[in-house]
Amino acid sequence: MFKKNILFTFIITLIFIIILYFLTFFYTKFVVHFSNLELIKHNNQISFIEKYQKRLHHLRHYKEKALDFTDPKNLLFYSEKNNKPDQKSVLLLGDSWFEQLLTYKLSKDLLKNYLKENNLNGYNGGITSYSPSLMLLQYKILIEDFKLKPNYLIIYIDQHDFGDEVCRYKNNQYFRNNQLWAIRDVLVNPRLVNVSKIEKENIPIIFKEIKKFNYFLKERLFLAYNKSKKIFKRNKNVYGCDKEKVYSYLTKPTVNDLDYFKKTINRFLDYVYSDSQIEKILIVTFPHRNHLKNVTNLSLQNEKIDILLKPSKAFKIDVGDIVKEYLTNKDKKKIQHLNFRDLIEKNTFKIEKKDFINNDFYSHLIEESHLRFSETIIKKLKSMIN
């Protein structure tokens, strides 16, 4: 009798689990629409992303319409070759501000013409949310895997790199021989690659949907586990860093976080500065609109972040000051700093509220103003090379 009860309980439990599984399956498919995620269409893109996601937190978004990703290396850097491979070249590293040099036609044409007129090869490695640690890894990969040999390096360090470094990347770093080896994303890129690979399998659709669903369950378990670690203060912060948190590092910086951010800048700049093939390095910084006295502070309606930005001029950190500190004892013939905040305060680069994209969280410039930004950078690079 006892054994029968156990068997009955087991069968009922198994039936319950099966029913729950398929209820959840239909919920995720038709309510959450997990199976309708965006997919990578081309195998060469899948393999490229899969390879470099092991070291780089993310690449360019493969659906960016302004870029041609039939050549998957454009996910990592874009080439503008005008002459023989042994001619001198310029490499740009940074975040979305330099990626806009590929998507804003005015700035793109300006850079292209400058390179052509001066017989230079150009490589643009600007990728959204890339900060010093990721740029360091990217630089190593470009040199080692793609055999780039840049002579001139232009680096854009953004104000929000502070929050990105401490909140998004710090606890996802992997080292080999005491050297930074990788910063990994454990959720978005793996999902993109794995779901795309499942979609390309030569199996019936129902099995594809079940495999996607199983991946979804695995992902949810991971997120629940990560959340539990956060509750007990043991998290690696492997996923989840909202805009409020990113902003908070500029408004409420701690000494430890600021010291860490300085180290990430120093580590990156020390590495490229010591590279003998690099002749000139230009570091560019631009203020957030909340740094400026003559521009109304950003105020996003219905955003919690609005609380953080009051009182006015709440930002306490400017990455330009950190770069200035780093350059104190460096050779100005090799490495210089183009600090747009200085230019704005001297009124040699004029900026108004209308120059910023309306309600843009990261203070990006509109296309016409970005052109003036690009012109100033090229002018500075010309003077350094000459």
* DSSP secondary structure string for all residues of 113-176: HHHHHTT-EEEE---TT--HHHHHHHHHHHHHTS----SEEEEE--TTHHHIIIIIIGGGEEEE
In a domain, 61, yes or no: no
Q: How many domains does the chain contain in total?
A: 2
In a domain, 330, yes or no: yes
By the 8 A CB rule, do 94 and 102 touch? Answer: no
Residue 218 sits in the same domain as residue 255: no
Residue 108 sits in the same domain as residue 247: yes
**What pLDDT, on a 0 to 100 scale, did the predictor assign at position 333?**
94
**What pLDDT, on a 0 to 100 scale, did the predictor assign at position 229?**
72
**DSSP string of 57-107?**
S----TT-TTS--SSGGGGT-EEE--S-TTS-EEEEE-SHHHHHHHH-HHH
- Amino acid letter for position 352: E
Residue 117 sits in the same domain as residue 98: yes
Residue 109 sits in the same domain as residue 210: no
- Amino acid letter for position 172: N
Residue 224 sits in the same domain as residue 158: no
- For residue 140, the tally of other CB atoms under 10 A from its CB is 15
**What pLDDT, on a 0 to 100 scale, did the predictor assign at position 35?**
64
By the 8 A CB rule, do 22 and 204 touch? Answer: no
**What pLDDT, on a 0 to 100 scale, did the predictor assign at position 305?**
46
- Amino acid letter for position 80: E
Q: Encoding tokens for residue 114?
A: 């400058």
By the 8 A CB rule, do 298 and 359 touch? Answer: yes
Average pLDDT for runs of 10 along the chain of length 386: 69 75 68 69 89 93 74 92 80 97 95 94 96 98 96 97 93 93 87 87 88 85 76 59 80 92 97 96 94 70 45 73 95 96 94 90 93 98 93
- Residue 225 makes CB contacts below 8 A (sequence gap 6+) with none
**What pLDDT, on a 0 to 100 scale, did the predictor assign at position 62?**
75
Expressed in angstroms, the distance from the first to the final Cα of the chain is 94
In a domain, 134, yes or no: yes
- Residue 61 makes CB contacts below 8 A (sequence gap 6+) with 128
In a domain, 47, yes or no: no
In a domain, 66, yes or no: no
In a domain, 70, yes or no: no
Residue 169 sits in the same domain as residue 256: yes
Please state, in angstroms and rounded to a whole number, the distance separating the CA atoms of residues 53 and 184: 7
Task: Measure Cα distances from 289 to 1, 48, 133, 314, 351 in Å.
Answer: 76, 37, 25, 11, 9
Residue 151 sits in the same domain as residue 205: no
Residue 149 sits in the same domain as residue 20: no
3-state secondary structure of 236: coil
Burial code (b: 16+ CB inside 10 Å, e: under 16) for 264-290 equals bbeebbebbbeeeebebbbbbbbbbbb
In a domain, 192, yes or no: no
Residue 179 sits in the same domain as residue 209: no
Task: Measure Cα distances from 105 to 68, 111, 269 in Å.
Answer: 14, 10, 30
**For 297-347, what is each residue's pLDDT tens digit?**
665 444 444 444 444 446 889 999 999 999 999 999 999 999 999 999 999
CATH of the domain at 163: 3.40.50.1110
**What pLDDT, on a 0 to 100 scale, did the predictor assign at position 25?**
66
Please state, in angstroms and rounded to a whole number, the distance separating the CA atoms of residues 231 and 243: 20
Residue 319 sits in the same domain as residue 380: yes
By the 8 A CB rule, do 156 and 94 touch? Answer: yes
Note down the domain range covering 257. Answer: 77-185+239-385
**DSSP string of 192-213?**
HHHHHHHHTSSS-HHHHHHHHH
Residue 16 sits in the same domain as residue 86: no
Residue 216 sits in the same domain as residue 244: no
Task: Measure Cα distances from 221 to 16, 105, 194, 227 in Å.
Answer: 19, 44, 17, 10
Q: Encoding tokens for residue 239?
A: 């996923």
By the 8 A CB rule, do 149 and 280 touch? Answer: no
In a domain, 300, yes or no: yes
